[in-house]
C-alpha cells in the first residue's frame, strides 16, 4: 500500500486515500460498502484492497498491479457512512456505493422496503452521480444514513 494521505472509518468499514489518489478499502462488505461485489469478494475483507472502479472484481483478482494502476480514477476525498461510501474524484465527480435504503447513495434508486427491492438497496458497484453541473463539488461527508456534498457554485465547471 502506498503512503496514506487520509484514513476514514465508517460504521463497519474503513478506507485509506493515498497521496497519489488511490483508494484502499477493508472491513465489512455485506452491503457492498467496499465497492466490491460481496458475492465474489466475500462479506469481510481483512486487509486493505486497492479499489478499481473501472474493472470487474474478477479482473481485480487476475490483473497485474501495473495494469490496475493505469486504469484508476484519481480521488481527492473519501467519506464513509454506516454502510455506504462516497468518493470525490479529482475532476469533482462524486461516486457512491453500498447500502441505499434511505437514498444515501442515490435518491432515485432508494426504496423503504428492503425485502421487495433488495437489488436497488444494495449498490456495490461504484456509480458516478450526475449532480448540478454549474456547481463544483469541493468535498464530501457522510453520516450513518446520509451523504453530503459541499459545493462552490461561484465557479463554473
Per-residue pLDDT of the chain (157 residues; tens, 9 = 90+): 445 589 999 999 999 999 989 999 999 998 899 999 888 888 999 999 998 876 333 344 445 555 555 556 889 999 999 999 999 998 888 999 998 888 788 776 554 444 444 445 777 888 888 776 667 889 999 999 889 888 887 755 4
pLDDT score, position 66: 54
Rounded-to-integer distance, Cα 71 and Cα 4, Å? 20
Provide the whole-model pTM: 0.77
Give the number of other Cβ atoms within 10 Å of residue 53's Cβ.
18
Q: Which domains does the chain have, with CATH numbers?
A: 4-152 (2.130.10.30)
Residues in the chain: 157
In 42-145, which residue ranges form alpha helices assigned H by DSSP?
Answer: 57-62, 65-69, 118-121
Q: With contact defined as beta carbons under 8 Å apart, do 100 and 84 qualify?
A: yes
Asked if 135 and 153 count as a contact pair (C-beta separation under 8 A), the reply is yes
Amino acid at each position: 500500500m502506498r503512503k496514506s494521505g487520509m484514513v476514514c472509518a465508517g460504521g463497519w468499514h474503513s478506507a485509506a486515500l493515498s497521496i497519489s489518489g488511490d483508494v484502499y478499502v477493508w472491513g465489512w462488505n455485506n452491503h457492498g460498502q467496499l465497492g466490491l461485489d460481496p458475492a465474489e469478494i466475500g462479506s469481510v475483507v481483512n486487509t486493505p484492497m486497492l479499489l478499481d472502479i473501472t474493472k470487474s472484481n474478477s479482473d481485480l483478482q487476475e490483473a497485474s498491479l501495473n495494469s490496475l494502476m493505469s486504469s484508476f480514477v484519481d480521488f481527492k476525498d473519501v467519506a464513509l457512512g454506516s454502510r455506504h461510501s462516497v468518493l470525490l474524484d479529482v475532476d469533482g465527480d462524486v461516486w457512491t456505493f453500498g447500502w441505499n435504503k434511505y437514498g444515501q447513495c442515490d435518491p432515485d434508486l432508494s426504496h423503504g422496503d428492503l425485502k421487495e427491492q433488495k437489488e436497488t438497496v444494495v449498490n456495490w458497484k461504484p456509480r458516478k452521480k450526475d449532480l448540478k453541473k454549474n456547481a463544483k463539488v469541493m468535498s464530501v461527508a457522510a453520516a450513518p444514513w446520509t451523504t453530503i456534498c459541499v459545493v462552490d457554485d461561484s465557479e463554473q465547471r
